[in-house]
Homo-oligomer: A and B are copies of this chain.
């Protein structure tokens, strides 16, 4: 029922791939490129123009690229200037602001708010309601849970933008705050409700406010489950080593 082309507006300057479905009430703006096999659900806006659009008659929309086989769920807004890799999946009402670069096979959950000029690696999974401030960046295979926030203003209000970084394979719990400019290493686990105020190295299990390193994550024992971290040996859904095994995949690739 959705894909009847009702009230759909596609710019003549957009390039729509093969086998793309576009839902009712969707708007695809100038200079958007949608990869083959993608589904753009209803009430979405792709290539949302930047602020000058509202008052400059000469405004030219920067190019927006949505990779092939992506699924953008309803009511999402993706600004112009974003580049998103293949196999992307969004929840509902996601906002991705301008000039963000997102790798392949990422998933950005319902109500997430990616504030622009953000860099997200491959295979990152953001659950609902994650907020990433401008200029922050993530490595690959990062997991973030609801209401996790990366901030960027060290002395608010200011014109500084000091976005932090989260390393590959790190898991960020619900309601976690990463303060401006803070660098979190690879393979960390940040417990629910923590506030990360200082740099964390690799393999840290950190909790609290201020977040303190409780132990090396490789030493963390969960009753009846042994040592569940790093998680890559026991979890592969949506990961590049799915069905192959992490070690095999690692040894075959230098795609870290």
A residues near B (Cβ < 8 Å) are 1-2, 4, 6-7, 9, 11, 21, 24-25, 27, 29-30, 39, 42-43, 45, 48-49, 54, 71, 74-75, 77, 91-93, 95, 110-111, 113, 115, 125, 128-129, 131, 143, 145-147, 149, 151, 154-159, 171, 173-175, 177, 179, 189, 192-193, 195, 208-209, 222, 225, 228-229, 231, 234-235, 237
Cβ of A114 to closest chain B Cβ, rounded Å: 10
List the B side residues contacting A111 at CB < 8 Å: 95, 111, 113
List the B side residues contacting A21 at CB < 8 Å: 54
Q: How far does the alpha carbon of A1 sit from the alpha carbon of B11 in the complex, in Å? A: 8
A1, A154, A179, A228: which has the most chain B beta carbons within 10 Å? A1
Instruction: Name the residue on B nearest A220 (C-beta).
Output: B155
Cβ of A105 to closest chain B Cβ, rounded Å: 14
List the B side residues contacting A6 at CB < 8 Å: 7, 9
Partner of A7, one of B7, B48, B71, B146: B7
| In the complex with contacts A110-B113, A159-B237, A45-B74 CB distance below 8 A | yes
Instruction: Name the residue on B nearest A37 (C-beta).
Output: B55
List the B side residues contacting A2 at CB < 8 Å: 27, 49
Partner of A113, one of B1, B129, B179: B129
Q: State whether A149 touches B177 (Cβ < 8 A).
A: no
Partner of A175, one of B71, B175, B237: B175
Q: State whether A29 touches B9 (Cβ < 8 A).
A: no
| In the complex with contacts A42-B27, A54-B39, A175-B175, A145-B155 CB distance below 8 A | no
Instruction: Name the residue on B nearest A207 (C-beta).
Output: B209
